[in-house]
């Protein structure tokens, strides 16, 4: 079994629809340029209020991904 090394980054996703959609937006966009995404943790949730109603959701995530194995 190979030992894994992980890198952790912070992402901020946003959505006008929901917190879950903001998470999906962040992970989906990160997956276009990063690979081996393994886990995420929601560390902060915020929103924007417009005219007394929730207008926008924003979620800060810690995302972990495994680094590629070194070539022998």
Task: Give 1-17 pLDDT, tens digit per residue.
Answer: 467 788 999 999 999 99
Residue 67 has pLDDT above 60, yes or no: yes
Q: How confident is the model at residue 70 (pLDDT cuts 50, 70, 90)?
A: low
Cα torsion 14, 46, 17, 62: sign:
positive
DSSP 55: E
Residues forming a β-bridge with 47: 57
pLDDT tens digits for range 44-59: 999 999 999 999 999 9
What's the Cα-to-Cα distance from 8 to each of 3, 39, 43, rounded to whole Å? Answer: 17, 9, 13
Its pTM stands at 0.85
């Amino acid at each position: 079994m190979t030992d894994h090394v992980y890198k952790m980054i912070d992402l901020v996703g946003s959505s006008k629809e929901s917190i879950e959609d903001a998470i999906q937006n962040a992970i989906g966009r990160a997956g276009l340029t990063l690979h081996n995404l393994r886990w995420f943790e929601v560390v902060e949730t915020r929103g924007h209020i417009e005219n007394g109603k929730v207008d926008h959701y924003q979620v800060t995530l810690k995302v972990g991904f495994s680094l590629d194995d070194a070539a022998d």
